[in-house]
Structure 1
Amino acid sequence: MTLSRALPATLLLPLFLLLVGADDTSPLEGGTESVAEAALLEGGLADAGVAGATDGSDAGVMLGLVPPVPVPSREEDPPITRLRSLPAKQDVLARAKKDAQGRLVVPGPQGDVPLTIDPVLQSQLTGILSQYRVPYGAVVVVEPSTGRVLAMAEHSRAQPGMRGLATRAVYPAASIFKIVTGAALLEAGVTPENETCFHGGKRRLSEKLLQDSARDGQCHSLAEAMGKSANVIFAKLTQRHLSPKALKHAAARFRFNRELSFPVPTDVSLAAVPEEDEFRFAQTGAGFGDVYLSPLHGALLASVAANGGVWRDPVLFEPGADAQPQTAEQVLSPEVARDLATLLEATVTKGTARRIFRERGMRVPGAVGKTGTLADRSPFRDYSWFVGFAPKDNPKVAVAAVIVNEPIWHIRATWLGREAMRLGLARLPPGALEAPAKDEPAESPEEESADEELPSDEMAGAPAAPAASQSAMTRP
């Protein structure tokens, strides 16, 4: 649906509903439109700050260039502190029941409506989150080529009964935003092979680190920088090759600051891109900015690279025989999408997720992705992310996993994301994966990456028991 004028009411509604816990009519009870679409059909209010959507060209102002609400400060006002449970009437998955064919269905005006959710995969992932008693956790699995949501599992030990975690954008995006920055850099002419030298910046950035120095003893290509989540390189490249306008446009095309069309109320993933402060702008490009992401949106980010640069809206209800073809939008060129997948592959082959994805018996053929980690200091919350898809050359599943841990924890998102990929691919019919990758020989210790995002004690497949907790880390 193309908008010709600003409609901030439709942008604000999902965020408002989820943060305050409003109880509005379920879309199933009122027809096929989402709550926001219904508001759109009734007419919206114009606003000079947000112009209508266009095709993304400079002829108009793209929807999403301006956040629909003030973006909260991650350090001073973490959005997770205002988390409220999804109202029961809007909790489609909680209302779903199995029919005679084993599908999950919900009642609709004209009979039962089947969901795209795979009941077995949904149960497996929910069980993992519950077994390891995560304080807050959610994982989403999507079929990239169609947008069908195959699983949307969640659990909260900190707030039992909390619902809606998979569609909440209360989690700092951290280094997952490097996917957006990476795409913008590729469009600016930086190639996966271009090298940048640096020093420091593993956990924090400073303006001095962004200046070339005789201390710059390491050099990484853009692909290696993505794989190892090299903050200084991304900050340097953001400062040198991008403008706030370019990064805003990239974020808007990836649907930041824009409403997602989905039957379950979904937060707008907010992204603040500073214009006046050059250092804060560089920090944002490296994943240290005030940017928030929902797990559903995270899986869709991965799907863009998997689909050759095509954005597809998520689908929760199986389309009927008379359904219209889903609208697809080319948001990246196929060439940029291909190079972006190359950047993401480095995370798994030689970067921060390398050990997790090389566990014997737990490997995922052709997996690519991005990790992310940030922490709130007081009270301490460790946010860990994994976003990716597999197989690279024949994408069948895209996943996003987020876990919010306390100082003592049991599992983190990279492990959970790998399991979501592995279990999702295992549900495919025989022959769906062409020429699966062969297991590679084990590495010698000296070959292992020194920049792993996770401590080695968590890297032995599934943790033996929830009691085997580890200390959290705090880097993007």
Structure 2
Amino acid sequence: MTLSRALPATLLLPLFLLLVGADEGSTQEGTAPTAEAALQQDAGTPDSQVAGQAGGSDAGVMLGLVPPVPVPSREQDPPMAHLRGLSAKQDVLARAKKDAKGRLVVPGPQGDVPLTIDPTLQSQLTRILQDYRVPYGAVVVLEPSTGRVLAMAEHSQAQPGLRGLTTRAVFPAASVFKIITGSALLEAGVTPMDETCFHGGKRRLSEKLLEDSSRDSQCHSLAEAMGKSANVIFAKLTHRYLSPDALKRAAARFHFNREISFPVPMDVSLASVPEGDEFRFAQTGAGFGDVYMSPMHGALLACVAANQGLWKDPVLFEPVANTPPQAGERVLSPEVARDLTTMMEATVTKGTARRIFRERGMGVPGAVGKTGTLADRAPFRDYSWFVGFAPKDNPKVAVAALIVNEPIWRIRATWLGREAMRLGLARLPPGSVAPAKDEATPAEETPADEESSEEEPAEEVAGTPAATPGTKAAMTRP
């Protein structure tokens, strides 16, 4: 294999460990990429290969415009049905041990190598997932400025012993994809305050809803539409302002359809953007398309906004002394990233996550984020997401939480994501973050279906909770 540029020194040790410890695999959904593929991704794919993937001859075609493998249909063949876990050799965290300093370390060619994982935070989040007996759950916490992985906890009550949920991309991105659509709309000239009027569309989209109508009696700004996850507005604006090529390029910049360099094998997050079908294209922009991502990728999306538009690869091994920080890859302009953050803040202050983040005594200062919910029908699987970061003005932690529930559930991802933020910030040195104000939420301002009906047709919404999360009764429920 010919490398087109030299590998950064900071990646040599992780790649060595990957070469030693990882089984061979493929980049198809539910499997792990080979070590050679990871090396090739970091080195950069030759222009001729990129052009070949895109089906053209132009040497400058962006990597990621075309999915590397066929994207499965969520309705006909949900990738979750083909979920495969990590092998023992690939599972770096399972091989880690605590050293005398309390750090998690793994054996390396020149001695033990410390991980960036915070053992206390990792244990706290794992315990939450276990205590609530989630069928499938994963949560990732990153330090946005460096990409250091502070926690990547997981648990499956449905498949005990399953490992690798944090890096598997078999989960529908749902309305988290509105982060990509929203970024593309901002670049197309739409501002966070621009209003769009609409009617209907809370539970079901139709082609008629894409056109303006005399029945459009409600109006939301783009920021409010992001906060409330207003599907019809995102569908209308996708149809009105974006092209399939523009949305493909935005997704590719956010590293969909591209490999992500990481010591633990990661699935490629696949995104199919339809061409030639305006309604399906609009649905995709609203979060109903065939788009899949891993929890690790979800946390990295949040980091882009936190880092004022820079993408930084996740880091699992503590860099050696005097190693320069990674410069990052420009994904968004600082101006667009700031507007995106403003839109994500609306999710927490007055949108789908408002009730959870205003729970008394559980506040998170300056939190911003995005929720997402979709469900498979047969068998029923309820996917819920929360991705975000805090504090808004000085980001210290970025999180992604995913829960796959059955019809009867205990917790969903917004609650888990808030806890990951809260516990992550609590691990920082005293004085790093201003304390949150303790506010109660008036009952009349939090509709009961505010979150569970967020973006799913009526026949696919989640079931009744088995207990209220965050209470003593829920924690001790058998």
TM-score by length of 1: 0.88
1:83-110 Cα shifts (integer Å, max 9, x gaps): 1110111100000000000000000111
What is the correspondence of 1:176-215 to structure 2 with a 5 Å cutoff?
Answer: 176-215=176-215
- The answer on 1:167 being equivalent to 2:167 is yes
- Matched position secondary structure for 1:408: coil
Deviation for aligned residue 1:46 = 3.3
Contact 1:350 1:449 in 2 (8 A): no
- For 1:349, the aligned partner's letter is T
1:419-440 Cα offsets, whole Å, 9 max, x none, are 000000000001112x444334
Deviation at 1:15, TM superposition (A): 5.0
SS in 2 for 1:323: coil
d(CA) in 2 for partners of 1:142 and 1:15? Answer: 26
Please say if residues 228 and 451 of structure 1, whose CA atoms lie closer than 8 Å, have aligned partners that are also in contact. no
Q: Match of 1:37, as an amino acid? A: L
Q: What secondary structure sits across from 1:141 in the alignment?
A: strand
Partner of 1:392: 392
In 2 relative to 1, CA 15–453 (structure 1 residues): closer, same or farther, beyond 3 Å? Answer: farther
Question: Residues 215-294 of structure 1 correspond to what in structure 2 (within 5 A)?
Answer: 215-294=215-294
Contact 1:14/1:36 (CA < 8 Å) preserved in 2? no
In the alignment, which residue of structure 1 is the partner of 2:38? 36
Give CA-to-partner distance per residue, 1:22-78, whole Å, 9 cap, x none: 9x7xx7xxxxxx7620687799893654269xxxxx982111111000000000011
1:411 is displaced (CA, Å) by: 0.6
**Does the CA contact (< 8 Å) of 2:410 and 2:468 recur in 1?**
no
Residues 50 and 59 in structure 2, CA contact (< 8 A), matched pair in contact too: no
Q: Deviations over 1:148-190 (max 9, x none)?
A: 0000000011111100000000000000000000010111111
Q: Residue 89 of structure 1 aligns to a residue in which SS?
A: coil
Distance in 1 separating the partners of 2:289 and 2:41: 32
Shift of 1:326: 1.5
Q: Deviations over 1:371-412 (max 9, x none)?
A: 000000011000000000000011000000001001011110
Counterpart of 1:46 in structure 2: which amino acid? Q
Deviation at 1:313, TM superposition (A): 0.5
For 1:355-366, what aligned pairs fall within 5 Å after superposition?
A: 355-366=355-366
Q: CA deviation at 1:14?
A: 6.3
Separation of aligned partners in 2, 1:465 and 1:451: 20
Q: Are 1:372 and 2:377 counterparts?
A: no
Partner deviation per Cα, 1:286-345 (whole Å, 9 max, x = no partner): 000000010000000000000110110000000002534313111101110000000000
Please give the secondary structure, in 2, of the residue aligned with 1:464.
Answer: helix
* 2:461 paired residue number: none
CA RMSD in angstroms comes to 2.7
2:413 aligned with 1:413, yes or no?
yes
| One of 45, 50, 55 as aligned partner of 2:53 | 50
Q: Secondary structure at the match of 1:183?
A: helix
Contact 1:170 1:294 (8 Å CA) reproduced: yes
Amino acid aligned to 1:143: E
TM-score, normalised via structure 2 length: 0.87
List alignment gaps of at least 5 residues for structure 1.
Answer: 5-12, 28-33, 53-57, 470-476
CA distance in 2, matches of 1:351, 1:3: 46
- Give the Cα separation in 1 of the matches to 2:421 and 2:45: 41
Closer/same/farther in 2, CA of residues 2 and 145 from structure 1, 3 Å limit: farther
State the alpha-carbon separation in 1 of the partners of residues 473 and 413 from structure 2: 17
Identity %, equivalent residues: 77
Work out whether 1:465 is the aligned partner of 2:464: no
Q: Output the CA distance in 2 between the equivalents of 1:243 and 1:199.
A: 24
Range moving further from structure 2, 327-336 or 124-133: 327-336
* 1:91 aligned partner: 91
Q: Which runs of 5+ in 2 are unaligned?
A: 6-23, 454-463
